[in-house]
Structure 1
């Protein structure tokens, strides 16, 4: 079995700079809790989206296992629009209603899912039989999970905590089960 721990980043301070948005004080505290939870999971590898908030959420477990966080660009959050959406709820609902739809400058669910799943398949191939943490974001995380089982949908995304951890267990490329770990709200 290869175990993937998809970690949605902790709470961040909102800025329009997606790449550099840091965790808030609450987020930093929750990131420490993520580390505490993952210490008992025999983690071998830590990977992250290039966005600061995702890296900060998983860098504690990387330090604990004395490894660097490997950055994988394709685990970045999906681009919703090229400019901040006037009505985020309307914008995000629309892309989940039609997986092929994209706003100007944004990615459709199909495109973002394809990118994320291909990155996951690469990780599964490179680290077969290991326990891998991936610091990610809510939309890309659920789109990856949705590829394997459509129960992971928009309603599921809306219920995610920040942070949140889902352990996905694979035999080669076949998802065998999913378990939520940690008790974040």
Structure 2
């Protein structure tokens, strides 16, 4: 069959944007592993914007190399250090700089606790343990007091991604961001109520297609590019 004789798209092609021309491809990349201060015992202010760890820097370089062989039209990134540096590792192979979008930043847990106080000092050990148990069962950001709400977080992140789609019709777009952001957008398009329904690995790749008013999940949490030295670059 020649290209001119290509078949008419069927219902599932239209529903999942397979074999459809002119679609926008969103490549979500979670940031590399970060230095992780303990918010329970250390000041919460130190947990909001940590840099990449040594392993995180390696992960970012590997995902950048993985995407270096693909056509990439534009790279967007969260302003937080761990995501922005990951985005730069992708963008540098394509001689571009990431476009920073503030609303791609991670969920702001404990943002209203004084920055110089620890969570355990401010909330108490009992309440902190209770919150953790609720999150295990409910998987909703609203279990955390003094934090950004689930509704506000999903609204800003979904709006940010939809804005990117509106400006990049038919392009291949990388979005370097956070596990919460990826869960929020993918959960929105597939109708999942949990705020965290899966745990993206550091520098994993998830792909969404957009076109003709449809948003279709293509792949989730791909880590094959990190399968080096017996998975030593896979972390969460």
What TM-score, normalized to structure 2?
0.69
Partner Cα separation in structure 1 for residue 137 and residue 159 of structure 2: 20
Matched, 1:69 2:98: yes
Partner Cα separation in structure 2 for residue 69 and residue 129 of structure 1: 19
- Show the counterpart of 1:45: 74
Q: What's the CA shift for 1:102?
A: 5.7
Matched, 1:7 2:29: yes
SS state at 2:142 partner: coil
Equivalent residue in structure 1 for 2:109, among 74, 80, 86? 80
Partner Cα separation in structure 2 for residue 93 and residue 7 of structure 1: 28
Q: 2:24–2:172: 8 Å Cα contact kept in structure 1? A: yes
Instruction: Give CA deviations for 1:86-134 in whole Å, capped at 9, x if unaligned.
Output: 4489359549837583634312222111100000110001011111111
Following TM superposition, the consecutive aligned residue runs of length 4 or more in structure 1 with deviations greater than 6 angstroms are: none
- Show the counterpart of 1:90: 131
Superposition pairs of residues 142-153 of structure 1, within 5 angstroms? 142-150=183-191, 153=194
Matched, 1:116 2:157: yes
SS state at 1:47 partner: strand
Q: 1:96–1:154: 8 Å Cα contact kept in structure 2? A: no
Q: 1:98 to 1:155 in 2, by over 3 A?
A: closer
More strand, by proportion = 1
Looking at CA atoms only, which structure, 1 or 2, has the larger radius of gyration? 2
Instruction: Give CA deviations for 1:67-87 in whole Å, capped at 9, x if unaligned.
Output: 111100000001122246444
RMSD: 2.7
Q: 1:136 to 1:155 in 2, by over 3 A?
A: closer
Q: 1:46–1:133: 8 Å Cα contact kept in structure 2? A: yes
Q: 1:41–1:131: 8 Å Cα contact kept in structure 2? A: no
